[in-house]
Amino acid sequence: MNLIINNIKIPIKYAKTWNDKLRGLMFLKKINYGLLIPQCISIHTFGMKDNIDLIFLNEKKAVMYIFQNLKANKIIQVNEDINKTSALELPKNTSLNLKIGDILTFEFEDVI
């Protein structure tokens, strides 16, 4: 899956398991992809080796919150319905041109 921002494709992985959600992008020195975490209203940046951008999305993929260039050892939580909210961890400074209310476009690759 890819996220399209300003005609730039950013590879996105999907956090399928509890461990995927817990680990997030921890321990990566150079983050070059994003991670979509479904049903998520809080993240931590403990163990992060690089800063990240964090976006919370509603069920329509609309941007609700943007946190840019988050450093390690932070906890971010939003007061939203966990069943309708997803977190999107991105490489730092990827979200600079986004604003609240933007609808994100994801491109799914064909699976044969």
Report the predicted TM-score, pTM, of the whole model to 2 decimal places. Answer: 0.90
Span 36-91, pLDDT tens digits:
999 999 999 998 999 999 999 999 999 999 999 999 999 999 999 999 999 999 99
| Other CB atoms within 10 Å distance of the CB of residue 87 | 24
pLDDT tens digits for range 16-40: 998 888 888 888 888 999 999 999 9
**Residue 68 DSSP SS3:** strand
Instruction: Report the pLDDT value the prediction gives residue 83, as an integer from 0 to 100.
Output: 96
For the segment(s) 2-105, the CATH number from 2.40.30.10, 2.60.120.1140, 2.40.128.20, 3.50.50.60 is: 2.60.120.1140
**pLDDT at res. 28:** 82
* Domain spans, the chain: 2-105
The CA distance from 5 to 26, in Å, is 23
